[in-house]
Amino acid sequence: MELFVRLSGLLVVLLLGAGFRATGLLDAGRTARLNAVAYYVALPALIFVSTYDRAIGELLSLTLLGGLLFVLFATVGLAWLVHRNRASVGRRSVAVVQSYHSNLGYLGLPLVAATFNAEVTATASVVLGVVTLIQLPLSILLLSTLNGADAALGHELRGLAKNPVLGSLIAGLAVGSLGLTVPGPAATGLDLLGSIALPLALLCVGASLEVDLPSIDIGATGAVIGLKIFCMPALAWAVFSVLAVDAATFTAAVVMLGTPTAVSTFVFAVELGGDEEFASLNVFATTLVSMLTLFVLITLVN
């Protein structure tokens, strides 16, 4: 019951973000500033406090890495098979990318931190780092190749080196691996900053969602939902069960890969010639459906 109330609260915050955008309270400028606070302050703080007291060897293993790679690329392959015959190239490229590109940072890690213990949250931070390093350049490459757009892939890859999420992960793991200590007041302050990551992120996601009802392609959007929200976490469940990983690794991997399509895929679609309206609809639809499926996933792994 507590979990249901918590996820219902998350849905309310998400819808509040959409409502604030509709009424003008969260215009583009205010949303951008909230995004900056969430992305450059709250989320890095959450990642750092989740990992600074743990060595990298405790969290990252070849089994975890191999399982994540298998699930990600298996989902990419399935997405290509399902969407390969879409009439529009722009829609096909977006459908493939949005069937695997997970919202790990804005929704996944903050949700895990609010729901599970420190061990699961630390592992989820590593899942975030590993999958982001793969799915971000892969999505840019697919969209630019299929749509014939100039992706400036080198620029995007250089941007990864300045990514605050990855930087805070590396810093936290370095502190933990070297056995350094973080002063209590600093740790407490970072913990408080990290606690606002989820509500801020949900407001920003809600304020970014736009849906044009006449443009809905039920079949294509349904396929994206099926692959991203149902198939990917089910595949993760099967793979990590076979790999017989510990409970924290299993929980972190399944829940993180069960998150909806990332909002950033809409931005990539705009920049790289994808179907913008279709991309926006899929972000909205997968986010809405995931409120129910994440409740089921978290209940099952618990």
pLDDT digits (tens, 9 = 90+) for 49-67: 878 877 777 778 899 999 9
User: Which contacts (CB < 8 Å, 24+ apart) does range 216-219 have?
Assistant: 216/281, 217/91, 217/278
Q: Are 107 and 259 in contact (CB under 8 A)?
A: yes
> In DSSP terms, which residues pair with 261 in a beta bridge?
102
For residue 293, CA distances in Å to 63, 232, 254, 264 come to 26, 12, 12, 21
pLDDT at position 261 is 93
Please give the pLDDT value at position 29: 84
pLDDT at position 141, please? 84
Confidence of residue 152 (pLDDT cuts 50, 70, 90): low
For residue 157, the model assigns a pLDDT of 59
The reported pLDDT for the residue numbered 149 is 63
Whether 69 and 190 have beta carbons less than 8 Å apart is answered as: no
Residue 13: pLDDT above 60?
Answer: yes
- Look at residue 3 in the predicted model and tell me its pLDDT: 66
Report the C-alpha gap between 198 and 229 in whole angstroms: 20
Predicted local confidence at residue 250, as pLDDT: 96
CATH number for the domain running over 2-209+217-301? 1.20.1530.20
Per-residue pLDDT tens for 164-223? 777 887 888 888 888 888 888 888 888 888 778 778 777 877 777 666 655 677 889 999
Average pLDDT of every residue of the chain: 84
pLDDT of residue 156: 59
Question: What span, in angstroms and rounded, lies between the C-alpha atoms of 161 and 176?
Answer: 21
Question: Would you state the pLDDT for residue 160?
Answer: 62
What is the percent of the chain with per-residue pLDDT over 70, rounded to a whole number? 91
Secondary-structure percent of the chain, ordered helix, strand, coil, rounded to 5: 80, 0, 20
Can you spell out the DSSP letters for 67-82?
HHHHHHHHHHHHHHHH
Residue 153 has pLDDT above 70, yes or no: no
**pLDDT at residue 123, rounded to an integer:** 93
DSSP 8-class letter at 27: -
pLDDT at 12: 82
pLDDT at 281 over 90: no
Radius of gyration of the chain (CA): 18
The residue that leads in pLDDT, 225 or 150, is 225
Apex 240 CA angle, 61 and 283, nearest 5 = 100
Can you tell me the mean pLDDT for 8-23?
Answer: 80
Q: Which carries the bigger pLDDT value, residue 69 or residue 16?
A: 69
Q: Is the pLDDT of residue 155 over 70?
A: no
Domain extent listing, the chain? 2-209+217-301
CA-closest candidate to residue 64, choices 279, 248, 271: 248
> 69-113 pLDDT, tens per residue?
999 999 999 999 999 988 788 899 999 999 999 999 878 888 898
